[in-house]
Amino acid sequence: MMYFYFIISCLFILWHKINSTSKIETKKIDALLALSNEIRNEIIEIRNDITEIRNNITEIRNDIPEIRNDITKIQNDITKTRNDIPEICNDITEMRNNITEIRNSINKLRGTSKTENGKVEKAISDFKEKSKTDNEKVEKAISDLRISIIRTHEISKNENKSTEKTLSDLSNNINRIHYTSQTENKKIEKSISNLNNDINRIHETFQTEKERIKRAISDFISNLSNCINEIREVELKHTSQAGLNLFPTANNIKTRQYQDKETLWKVFKSLIDQKKSEGYSNNSMFEEIAYESKINSGSGICAKTAYNYYHRNTKKPQDKTVNAISNWVIKEVGNIKEVGKIVI
């Protein structure tokens, strides 16, 4: 009975240790998932900002052709005004030629009579007034042309400043975006690197804990098997002393496993049927046999092999199958208290 309590306490301690370890690992993984979600949200916000800045750059680029078209129109107006200047100069030259011809005519008429001189003077006076009026018009046209050229030059200068400012702002925005993207990429790379390091560290910790748990389970099963063997030996000793030799001992079954496989199968079938009557399922028992065989030998057998052995689907079972079944039967025979229920 003391061995039984010792086994129960060992199982409880092992269960508590595995449960606490899994809770700690779960908390670490939840923290990492929360950190990864925050990093993803920050990356999404950065991408949205970059998209907005790119849209602004696209709008500025779309405005640049309009500004260039306005500058081209102003340059065309200046060119047209410059083309009009030679025409005005030609008109002035033509008027000067006319004045020269009139003066020549006046010189010819000086030799005429005073009457003709009066008419000539009157004609000259009229012509002077007319030429004065024409000169005023020409001066006014030249003054308007100068004002138009100055205004056009100022507009062109202002537009050039506006264009230079726009291009400068565009260049600054591009540089700022480039610097921001580099900084954010470095932050993202650093966060990803830290996340990968944490994941690798957790994976290593998990592998270490897994190996440690496996070793603990293996040691516990080994100790448990030793305790069971000791209990079995004590029970067999007391049974032999009392003269109650109701069933084959573990050593007899182990001795028979190669000499009398039929007896081993009967004992195995009897144990399975008895556990079925107690509420166990076939699949759980076959899985248990496969699990114990893998722990004991390393390679072991699968649950399907145990199922086929129970139903005698395999005519000549392999040695490792017989050994796995025999070990399980020995363990179960040692755990059964009501020995008389086993029919061999």
Q: What is the DSSP string of 210-275?
A: HHHHHHHHHHHHHHHHHHHHHHHHHHHHHHHHHT---S--HHHHHHHHHH-HHHHHHHHHHHHHHH
| Higher local confidence (pLDDT), 51 or 152 | 51
Q: What is the pTM of this model?
A: 0.27
CB 321 within 8 A of CB 305: yes
CB 309 within 8 A of CB 321: yes
Residue type (1 letter), 180: T
Distances in Å between the alpha carbon of 60 and those of 64, 136, 162, 172, 200?
6, 48, 13, 13, 47
Mean pLDDT across the chain, nearest whole number? 77
Give the confidence band of 270 by pLDDT, cuts at 50, 70, 90. very high
| Higher local confidence (pLDDT), 238 or 217 | 217
Q: How far apart are CA 86 and CA 89, in angstroms?
A: 5
Where are the chain's structural domains?
17-188, 247-341
Q: Which two tokens stand for residue 270?
A: 């009897």
Give the confidence band of 254 by pLDDT, cuts at 50, 70, 90. very low
CB 295 within 8 A of CB 218: yes
| pLDDT at residue 235, rounded to an integer | 57
Share above pLDDT 90 across residues of the chain, in percent, rounded to a whole number: 9
Distances in Å between the alpha carbon of 69 and those of 46, 83, 149, 319, 341?
36, 21, 19, 95, 106
Helices and strands (H and E) in the chain: how many: 7, 0
pLDDT tens digits for range 196-218: 788 778 777 777 777 777 776 66
Q: Which residue has the tokens 């993984």?
A: 29
User: How many other β-carbons are positioned within 10 Å of the β-carbon of residue 139?
Assistant: 10
pLDDT tens digits for range 153-177: 787 677 777 778 877 887 787 788 7
| pLDDT at residue 257, rounded to an integer | 41
